[in-house]
């Protein structure tokens, strides 16, 4: 025997993917102020570019375990992910990561220093840009005179 749906079950029933109850909401038009790109300082753009380049080197170092020491060809997964040139770049970085600290390319340490220094500088800049607004309200001290309240009863 089929049970009749009460109002709550219909209200909370989820539509199936095939149902036509989905509503498409259009994005509201952007105002001229929202559509206007904000001009950035060229120095900030350069810093961003250098940061991302060095951060990608540091990220590539973390893939060193995907290759054997001395391996001359990149794994096929890297080629699919990064293309032949990107895979060879990652392979060179990972080969350097397999070397000891004495023999490793100085560029790996430099990339780590640059990326960590720029990340720290960003955090400090974000904290420095915050403005703390403090308002101090001082009320003069005063006293009330003695008030006697009597009942008319």
68 domain-assigned: yes
96 domain-assigned: yes
102 domain-assigned: yes
pTM of the model: 0.56
Highest mean pLDDT: which of 1-5, 15-19, 25-29? 25-29
Give residue 112's domain range: 48-119
Q: Which residues of 111-138 are buried (b: 16+ CB within 10 A; e: fewer)?
A: beebbeebeeeeeeeeeeeeeeeeeeee
Helix axes 42-61, 106-128, angle to 10 degrees: 130
How far apart are alpha carbons 68 and 66 in whole angstroms? 7
79 domain-assigned: yes
Domain count, the chain: 1
State whether the Cα torsion 144-146-152-153 is positive or negative: positive
76 domain-assigned: yes
pLDDT one-digit tens code per residue, 39-80: 778 888 999 999 999 999 999 999 999 999 999 999 999 999
70 domain-assigned: yes
DSSP structure string for 110-130: HHHHHHHHHHHHHHHHHHHT-
31 domain-assigned: no
- Alpha helices for the chain (secondary structure H): 7-12, 32-35, 42-61, 76-98, 106-128
10 domain-assigned: no
């Amino acid at each position: 025997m089929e049970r009749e749906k009460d109002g709550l079950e219909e209200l909370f029933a989820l539509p199936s993917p095939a149902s036509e109850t989905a509503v498409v909401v259009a994005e509201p038009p952007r105002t001229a102020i929202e559509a206007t790109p904000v001009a950035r300082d060229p120095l900030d753009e350069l810093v961003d570019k250098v940061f991302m380049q060095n951060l990608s080197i540091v990220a590539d170092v973390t893939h060193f375990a995907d290759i054997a020491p001395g391996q001359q060809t990149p794994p096929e997964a890297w080629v699919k992910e990064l293309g032949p040139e990107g895979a060879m770049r990652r392979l060179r970085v990972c080969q350097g990561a397999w070397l000891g600290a004495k023999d490793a390319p100085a560029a790996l340490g430099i990339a780590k220093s640059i990326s960590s220094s720029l990340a720290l500088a960003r955090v400090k800049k974000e904290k420095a840009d915050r403005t703390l607004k403090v308002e101090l309200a001082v009320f003069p001290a005063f006293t009330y005179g003695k008030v006697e309240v009597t009942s008319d009863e």
